[in-house]
């Protein structure tokens, strides 16, 4: 078969910060949301986003899960589509009808990136990486020949804040929301040479049902498989709660597990906006579907992680059913000694929790929220679950006292193995159209919060690296680089603390 017989009408791609498997360790991807610190940028990029193998056509061995879903839908509907590595675009764009971008953080407005950028005043790696991609001459040459450019993914909203880039890149359509149904309509419009809408917000009848969502055709980055969509908690700062809740049947999940295993991927991430809500009744987790789910996943994967879980669900599941312990009996074996997960702490302030996320504590009372957080962290610590706990700094309703309540919570979490991640507020969900600060102004309370979090994270990061993370000789260079970074970070923080102390005395 010659190359012309292997061309594609629709090319999907993203920059190197996402077209990578982060050495098989999903959490290392967070390094790509910041600038290089303490090591050369080339080393930082190698740590965060190393290149992956590609086939003869430039298709990566693994690709971001969301892009795999869109690729699969196009293929199932009879279109010629493929995900192509950003370094292998040129020969494909000569024949493509459309180039489709996807990204979690196009312009580094997302919480991790904007936090790094605000503190260091340096452009994050992911921002620089995407800028390098869209400035590739082959993209502009293809655009002049009539190729269409479509933008999608969870951070499509960021283009609305950078309308200058829409014009500069030559974006034809922005797709904001779940794309499985609308992308089929747009692809056919492109083939029929019909004019495209500039902006599409997916809602109502365009939100895909389970039957509209195709199973992935190629391996996903770090074996990620989705188990459901949507969340019932309705937090005002979150865009996920706008989407209806849908659970994937086990048969659908198993097909994607098999796809990854066939590609040699035996370690994976179970993805949901709250894994413990799989098969739930409202916000009440149920043991049976979760036990069946994890039994199925461990049949195929040697090790797993959870993308997200809520702290109230963790506490409720263990107190009501002993479920966290029961799941541990399924998950942990000779191959797997710990489980990683991202959890949303958001704040230690009861007042703020009641204001912006009254259902975050359910089925417990909002007044109990700090206690819920601490109890859930204790449960995770005792069950070999290592959380990355995110917190929101700078919410519109935040007061100085709210920040000090969060500092108090950080102190109470010190005994529990975890990484804490305070992030600047970014307007999504209910707040999406409200003004927000683009120039970060940290108060004394914010500075104290970051200082406390830093020493918490350094203490537990060293423990995690030494006891759990990246075992074996193959990871020795990465472990060495991480330890070097921690040593540099501690030195710099001590210098900052001395400077702050001198300023207070003055």
- Mean pLDDT for the stretch of residues 270-282: 94
pLDDT for 275: 97
Q: Would the pLDDT of 238 be above 80?
A: no
- Distance from chain centroid for Cα 25: 13
What pLDDT, in 10s, does the model give residues 243-257? Answer: 688 999 999 999 999
Q: How confident is the model at residue 193 (pLDDT cuts 50, 70, 90)?
A: very high
Name the CATH superfamily housing domain 3-206.
Answer: Response regulator (3.40.50.2300)
What is the rounded CA–CA span in Å between residue 179 and residue 159?
Answer: 17
Q: Would the pLDDT of 186 be above 80?
A: yes
- Which residue is listed with tokens 């009408």? 9
pLDDT for 409: 98
Structure tokens at 241: 């709660």
The percentage of the chain sitting over the pLDDT mark of 70, rounded to a whole number, equals 87
What pLDDT, in 10s, does the model give residues 431-453? Answer: 344 444 344 467 889 889 989 99
What is the rounded CA–CA span in Å between residue 418 and residue 342?
Answer: 10
The predicted model scores a pTM of 0.89
Q: How confident is the model at residue 473 (pLDDT cuts 50, 70, 90)?
A: low
Q: What is the DSSP letter of 434?
A: S
For 464, phi then psi, to 5°, come to -65, -45
Q: Do domains 3-206 and 219-467 have the same CATH topology?
A: no
Structural domain boundaries of the chain?
3-206, 219-467, 470-505
CB 28 within 8 A of CB 47: yes
Report the chain's mean pLDDT, rounded to a whole number. Answer: 89
Q: What 3-state class would DSSP assign to 116?
A: helix
What is the rounded CA–CA span in Å between residue 403 and residue 347?
Answer: 8
Higher pLDDT, 354 or 505: 354
Sign of CA dihedral 348, 352, 356, 357: positive
- Mean pLDDT for the stretch of residues 56-65: 97
Name the CATH superfamily housing domain 219-467.
Answer: tm_1862 like domain (3.80.30.20)
């Amino acid at each position: 078969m010659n190359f012309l017989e292997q061309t594609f009408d629709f090319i999907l791609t993203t920059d190197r910060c996402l077209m990578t498997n982060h050495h098989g360790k999903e959490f290392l991807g967070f390094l790509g949301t910041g600038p290089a610190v303490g090591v050369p940028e080339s080393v930082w990029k190698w740590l965060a986003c190393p290149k992956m193998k590609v086939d003869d056509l430039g298709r990566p061995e693994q690709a971001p899960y969301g892009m795999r879903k869109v690729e699969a839908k196009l293929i199932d509907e009879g279109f010629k589509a493929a995900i192509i590595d950003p370094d292998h675009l040129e020969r494909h764009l000569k024949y493509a009808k459309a180039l489709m971008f996807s990204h979690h953080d196009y312009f580094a407005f997302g919480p991790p990136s904007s936090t790094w950028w605000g503190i260091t005043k340096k452009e994050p790696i992911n921002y620089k990486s995407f800028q390098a991609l869209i400035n590739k001459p082959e993209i502009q040459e293809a655009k002049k020949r009539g190729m269409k450019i479509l933008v999608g993914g969870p951070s499509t909203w960021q283009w609305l804040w950078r309308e200058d880039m829409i014009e500069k890149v030559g974006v034809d359509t922005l797709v904001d929301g779940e794309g499985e149904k609308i992308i089929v309509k747009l692809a056919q419009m492109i083939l029929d040479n019909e004019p495209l809408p500039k902006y599409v917000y997916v809602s109502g009848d365009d939100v895909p049902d389970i039957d509209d969502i195709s199973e992935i055709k190629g391996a996903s980055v770090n074996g990620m498989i989705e188990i459901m969509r949507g969340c019932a908690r309705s937090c005002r700062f979150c865009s996920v709660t706008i989407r209806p809740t849908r659970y994937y049947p086990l048969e659908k999940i198993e097909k994607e597990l098999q796809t990854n295993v066939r590609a040699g991927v035996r370690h994976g991430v179970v993805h949901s906006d709250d894994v413990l809500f799989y098969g739930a009744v409202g916000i009440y987790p149920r043991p049976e579907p979760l036990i069946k789910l994890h039994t199925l996943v461990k049949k195929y994967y040697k090790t797993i992680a959870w993308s997200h879980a809520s702290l109230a669900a963790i506490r409720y599941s263990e107190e009501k059913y002993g479920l966290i312990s029961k799941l541990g009996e399924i998950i942990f074996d000779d191959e797997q000694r710990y489980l990683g997960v991202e959890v949303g702490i958001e704040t230690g302030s009861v007042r703020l929790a009641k204001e912006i996320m009254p259902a975050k504590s359910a089925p417990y009372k909002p007044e109990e929220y700090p206690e819920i957080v601490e109890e859930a962290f204790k449960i995770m610590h005792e069950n070999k679950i290592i959380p990355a706990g995110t917190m929101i700094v700078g919410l519109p309703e935040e007061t100085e006292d709210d920040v000090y309540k969060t500092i108090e919570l950080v102190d109470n979490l010190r005994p529990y193995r975890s990484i804490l991640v305070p992030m600047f507020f970014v307007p999504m969900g209910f707040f999406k159209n409200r003004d927000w600060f683009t120039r970060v102004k940290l108060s004394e309370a914010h500075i104290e919060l970051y200082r406390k979090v830093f020493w918490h994270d350094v203490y537990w990061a060293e423990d995690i690296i030494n006891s759990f993370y990246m075992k074996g000789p193959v990871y020795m260079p990465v472990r060495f680089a991480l330890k070097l970074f921690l040593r540099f970070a501690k030195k710099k923080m001590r210098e900052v603390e001395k400077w702050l102390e001198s300023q207070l005395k003055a």
